[in-house]
């Protein structure tokens, strides 16, 4: 009798455990969501072609950013009184970088960034060459 009662008890528990899964109503109306409109193209984006080559590479900390954070390519910064376009951002020790479309680029904890700057005006290029 004890064995039959034990099997009956375990059978009841098995049915009880299976019940919540079958008691859930199934959603039969799978309506596709409307697509989300993407961002419009940014004005002033560089045309496709050969990438700009940096006139100088500067630690992001020298531009006033925290360690591991810097301006993303495409942003304009002022350094030593001249305007520069950020053309690249390289992390130390081959670490990965991430921007995600924001105005900033970051690297993993403990890393530093070297920011590639391209002079906006020819006069600024002379300043970049003098500071190398």
pLDDT value at position 88?
93
Residue 132 confidence (pLDDT) above 60? no
The more confidently predicted of residues 70 and 81 is: 70
pLDDT of residue 124: 47
pLDDT in tens, 31-40: 677 777 776 6
The mean-pLDDT minimum among 8-17, 60-69, 85-94 falls in 8-17
Average pLDDT of the segment spanning 48-56: 81
126-129-131 Cα angle (round to 5): 110
Tokens matching residue 129: 């060459």
C-alpha distance across the termini of the chain, in Å: 92
Q: Mean pLDDT lowest for which of 3-12, 45-54, 66-75, 112-121?
A: 3-12
Query: Mean pLDDT across the stretch 46-73?
Result: 87
Task: Give alpha helix (H) positions in the chain.
Answer: 2-23, 122-130
Quote the mean pLDDT of the chain.
76
What does the pLDDT look like over 89-129, one tens digit per residue?
A: 999 998 999 988 889 999 998 899 999 999 987 654 555 55
pTM of this prediction exceeds 0.75: no
**Looking at residues 5-25, what average pLDDT do you find?**
52
> DSSP label at 80?
T
């Amino acid at each position: 009798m004890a064995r039959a009662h034990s099997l009956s008890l375990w059978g009841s528990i098995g049915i009880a455990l299976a019940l919540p899964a079958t008691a859930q109503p199934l959603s039969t109306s799978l309506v596709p969501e409307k697509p989300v409109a993407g961002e419009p193209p940014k004005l002033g984006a560089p045309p496709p072609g050969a990438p700009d080559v940096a006139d100088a590479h500067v630690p992001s900390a020298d531009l006033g950013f925290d360690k591991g954070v810097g301006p993303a390519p495409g942003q304009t910064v002022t350094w030593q009184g001249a305007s520069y376009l950020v053309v690249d951002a390289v992390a130390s020790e081959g670490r990965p970088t991430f921007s995600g479309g924001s105005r900033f680029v970051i690297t993993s904890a403990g890393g530093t960034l070297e920011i590639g700057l391209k002079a906006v005006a020819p006069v600024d290029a002379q300043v970049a060459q003098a500071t190398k």
